[in-house]
A and B are shown apart, each in its own frame.
Chain A
């Protein structure tokens, strides 16, 4: 069967096209010549000249001197020429603001042209000219264009509002363009809706507290309808916007999911990924026993797999996202291992990502296949890829115990290849395997020792030295081996030096008779000849230990080591949650929150997944970014100074006893922070908020250079001074520090409200964790309200803001409760007894000036209290209630 090819037009343009000649004029005096040509009477010549100007502009020449001459060409009915002049204007208007005014008249006129294409062109271009004087003139035409009869003009005007907002946000608000833009969400034309959504989303990003998009079930419904009708790009804008919404309950969540799932079959990968984002987020709210939940899980796998047949760049984006999805919900892709097998022709960036995902998906069920593949990869050409493959084999061994033996023998085969970097990589992972399965594979040590000479990378040398030290009693010539390293001690990297020091000390403790000289030698090298404080310190510690109490030394140095974790390189859970909310975007490609790479106010809003299925009962806590968090008052001049000065009168101020301090809990387990464990609590002492921390070093090396930072949080908590860890923290050492906090840091609403994201840095790495502080810490000492004021305020706050809670099993009488609460700055203002029921009226003031009023009802003999809270910022009520509970029960 032959194709009727003649039907398919060949749209090559004729050979008369010779625009490329404009790129080649580089004569001197060119500007002068162009000027003459621009002012020519002949239309063709003029156009030619403008083309030359644009070509020069493209290659980076400065042609701004021609501004008046080019602007003179603007008044033309030739659309092609007009577009070129506009292009020039967009580039140079900023540098010639006064002259740019010359163009205004033409713009204004064009905005009223009969041809909608010209009206749109004018409004589109005008928005790109960032000159104040021009923007003033833009408002009227823009207002008209937003209500133009032609959808093409309206969709262009919608984007123009975002442009104008970027230049002058105040002007946009004053002129009421935001409301007009909101109206466009109900436009009959799907593309207008999509552009309006895009523009509003962008504007909302720079106003995190505004209620711009006002997402509610009605507006969501409109968006979902437009989703079916608009272009692929519009679908992306709408889906990305939908992802910011938090449904009210699981039923709403399910119905949105149902309407979004068809998008998974779209040919455009970005539409698919944005749909996946919406589904991943809303799924959080569905009860896990729901049939629909498992159906949805099944529906997600095929489109994700299909993304891997897209172009390589998109595959890369998809793989980076799949990496996140696999960490969040491993069940989705657990049966799809094969599709991540590396193809010979994949670009290297795709290969490396696939390998990463293979390791994450490795399980007992598929380990045989995975190992066979990894073995193949280890013989490839690209060094990075081969290294990663070798490392992956080691990780398989650690992850799947049943496979450990096979992995070790595979690694040994690889060591036999004698390929230098393969050998070194293999030794590094074998060290970890030894750690994970002690006393199992030591028989291979002999083979490893054969390769001692070929190791030239610090990590591999350190690993090998560790192995020799750890198993010194089984290696006959351990002393010789270590001695050979000692010769070039000063040329080694710190990592190797530290390891060598420890290994020789271990050796000495195991075989004290033959190695006395060796240990003397290394101790003096480390303590006397080295400039490295870490090394010196460790040397001195060993020296002292060995000389004073060899038994204790044995206990310390040869102590049993903690197990190493199975999963490595996992993304910290709160970050993972945030990244899931950013599926498809750059954040998900970099695996970093937007604030890490975006400047200014945009993108710093941290997104969180909605809470699980039983959210229904809890009071409204921020519904997406549309909700206005009234908690954030502008008045950050809170009364608590929290400076260092306060520190010194710590004991001085008489303070009612019994301020509630929650017990310390582990915030950062050692497993997640390369050996650093942090536990802690919060307290308020003498009007100063303290973060009390216990840092424990469970790693093998010394930790130094501690520092701490908070992410923006709901009440502007920030460290008031540096973290005072002055001495290095040795292995197995613990230190208690208290860090005074101020409340004048940057503010951002968190969910839950009292969540605090903390970063702690030391010489090893930066670690992130999040913790929740009792809001009672923020209750200030002058929180006792006047009675009259209390009554008036109680009446003044609308009843909608009142929330009621039950405190169960509390056996205090009302007076005891009152004095206990007072300890935490919850002040009782009045007490009334009605029919055997005590009613306590109380007031609380938060560090940011928010007042919370409370009515506590205590019935004699009934262990259940009822509490009503009234506050202008009802979001805090839940946290305040939790404090009541905590204080009363402790």
Chain B
């Protein structure tokens, strides 16, 4: 298990050092500084073995977190723990910076004592940690309060405390997707996938039981089985349901229930959290199509024409559109003409950057540029990096739709209807590239 945990600043000075196991000595602190932080080359692996001691590290801004061990630990667990540690610290005192760590070192030691025992990760849910690790010191708790804390920390529902009350029960649901594309110059899709997240903010009283439903193909097909033939089923529900390749859930979701019934039920943590992540590769709505045309005019001139077409309902608006057209290294000058938005040649980035604030669906726009080149004797041809694009659209490119989110709280007297629910879809570009 984890033998020790160190936090360093960018210079390699130790800010926090907590040793859990006897086999980790003080020299381990220095070994990491010398061999990793002060190493001349770039880091080649997040796991380093120095003199039979293994160091796992992650970096947040310029702070290094390192977990140390001499045993054959579960490596995936150590990294998950380090991320979790960052989350916990961030939720206590904000950004992970040298100043914040120094300001809160007592708190950090207290946290490290609680969430890691003999190197074994323990309950690390901020929701419950905040009930008994505070900066104010524990006030005189009653016996009931104490046992409530301990049962929550060790209990089945470690992520939520009891007795939460809100005057207005409200929940916010965000479907955030990033759509990734690699397209050939001829418009053939080489690879495309959507990676999505469902992020919730819930402000609900008591211990509500929630059920989340979406247009998952497997469920819709199961429900629609009665009577409809396969052929018809596809044509009617085909557009409405989507095939999900894989999904993972927050630990509050009952996985065995998902496995058997494919239903997503859970008691939510309080506040903001990520309910699920998913990935789809089939029937993706590609919000934009990029059509490049590059023509070499002699050895010193290049003509580039790029057309973008928006491919969604005309009533919707895409925002923050940016098209980045790479230019050769020996570019001497660029003339750009665009119908919409603003375009600029950025010599330092070797690219023409074309920005459009808003664009409605089913429209098209065009940019043309003349690139003048310096004559070179470099035999190496220009590699023609792909044209990349950034944008934001108010729908889910995977086609995912939230069908329902039901809230049941039997002990308190509010019902599903009383909960105010908000749903929002945001589709963003991931790596959205067209080769030219």
Binding site for B on A (CB under 8 A): 1, 3-4, 7-9, 11-13, 17-20, 22-23, 51, 54-55, 58-60, 78-80, 83-84, 86-87, 91, 114-117, 120, 124, 127-128, 130, 150-153, 155-156, 159-160, 162-163, 166, 189-192, 195, 198, 202, 228-233, 236-237, 240, 259, 261-263, 265-270, 272-274, 302-303, 305-306, 309, 311-314, 316-318, 338, 341, 343-344, 347-349, 369, 379, 416-419, 582, 584-590, 594, 597-599, 602-603
**Contact between A348 and B44, CB atoms less than 8 A apart:** yes
Q: A12-B94, A313-B46 are in contact. Are A190 and B156 (CB under 8 A)?
A: yes
B349 within 8 A of A: no
Chain A interface, >50% SS class: helix
The residue of chain B having its C-beta at the shortest distance from the C-beta of A190 within the complex is B156
B324 within 8 A of A: no
Q: Which residues of B contact A162 (CB under 8 A)?
A: 118
Distance in angstroms between the alpha carbons of A303 and B278 in the assembled complex: 10
Contact A166–B22 (Cβ < 8 Å): yes
Which 7 pairs of residues, A with B, have the shortest CB-CB distance?
A302-B246, A20-B102, A152-B150, A262-B259, A270-B76, A270-B77, A594-B72
Determine the chain B residues whose CB is within 8 A of the CB of A191 once the complex forms: 122-123, 153-155, 158
Collect the chain B residues with CB atoms within 8 Å of residue A602's CB: 71-72
For residue B213, CB closer than 8 A to chain A, the reply is no
Which residue in A151, A273, A594 is a CB contact (below 8 Å) of B154?
A151
Q: Indicate if the CB atoms of A261 and B259 lie closer than 8 Å.
A: yes
In the assembled complex, which residues on chain B have CB atoms less than 8 Å from the CB atom of A309? 195, 277, 279
Within 8 Å of chain A (Cβ to Cβ): is B434? no
Knowing A58-B105, A262-B259, A349-B45, the reply to whether A268 touches B251 (Cβ < 8 A) is yes
User: B72 to A582, Cβ gap below 8 A?
Assistant: yes
Contact B72 A266 (CB under 8 A): no
Q: Which of A156, A192, A232, A316 contacts B47 (CB 8 A)?
A: A316
Instruction: Tell me, in angstroms, the Cα distance from A273 to B110 when the chains sit together.
Output: 30
Contact across chains for A20 and B103 when beta carbons are under 8 A apart: yes
Closest CB of chain B to A91's CB: distance in Å? 8
Which B residue's beta carbon lies closest to that of A350?
A: B46
| Chain B residue nearest in CB terms to A345 | B431
For residue A78, give the distance in angstroms from its CB to the closest CB of chain B.
6
| The residue from A51, A417, A597 contacting B54, defined by CB atoms under 8 A apart | A597
CB-CB under 8 A from B347, the residues of chain A are none
Q: A189-B154, A229-B156, A311-B79 are in contact. Are A17 and B113 (CB under 8 A)?
A: no
For A590, what are the chain B residues with a Cβ–Cβ distance below 8 Å? 47, 49
Expressed in whole angstroms, the minimum distance between the Cβ of A38 and any Cβ of chain B is 16
| A295 smallest CB distance to B (angstroms) | 12
Q: Taking the nearest CB of chain A, how far is it from the CB of B186, in angstroms?
A: 14
Contacts A20-B99, A261-B259, A306-B248; A599 near B52 (Cβ below 8 A):
yes
Which residue of chain B lies nearest to A233 when distances are taken between CB atoms in the complex? B121
Q: Would B156 and A313 count as touching, CB distance under 8 A?
A: no
- A192 contacts across to B, CB distance below 8 A: 154
B203 near A7 (CB under 8 angstroms)? yes
Stretch at the interface among B140-148, B283-291, B360-368, B401-409: B140-148
B74 at interface by CB-CB < 8 Å? yes
Q: How many residues of B are in contact with the other chain, CB < 8 A?
A: 108
Task: Take A162-B118, A303-B248, A417-B380 as given contacts and tell me if A598 and B147 are in contact as well, using a CB distance cutoff of 8 Å.
Answer: no
Partner of A584, one of B52, B76, B132, B272: B76
Of the residues A232, A314, A347, contact of B251 by C-beta under 8 Å? A232
Please tell me which one of the listed residues B124, B137, B146, B151 contacts residue A80 in the complex, with CB atoms under 8 A apart: B137
Assembly CA distance A316 to B122 (angstroms): 24
Among A1, A230, A594, the residue within 8 A (CB) of B422 is A1
Chain B neighbourhood of A265, CB < 8 A: 246-249, 255, 258-259
Q: Known A23-B102, A302-B245; judge A274-B74 contact (CB<8 A).
A: yes
Nearest CB of A to B115, in Å = 9
- Closest Cβ neighbor of B46 among chain A residues: A313
Of B14, B44, B75, B271, most A-chain CB atoms within 10 Å: B75
Chain A residues closer than 8 Å to B329, beta-carbon distance: none
Q: How far is the CB of A55 from chain B (nearest CB, A)?
A: 7
Min CB distance, B80 to chain A, in Å?
Answer: 5
Q: Which of A189, A268, A316 has the most CB of B within 10 A?
A: A268
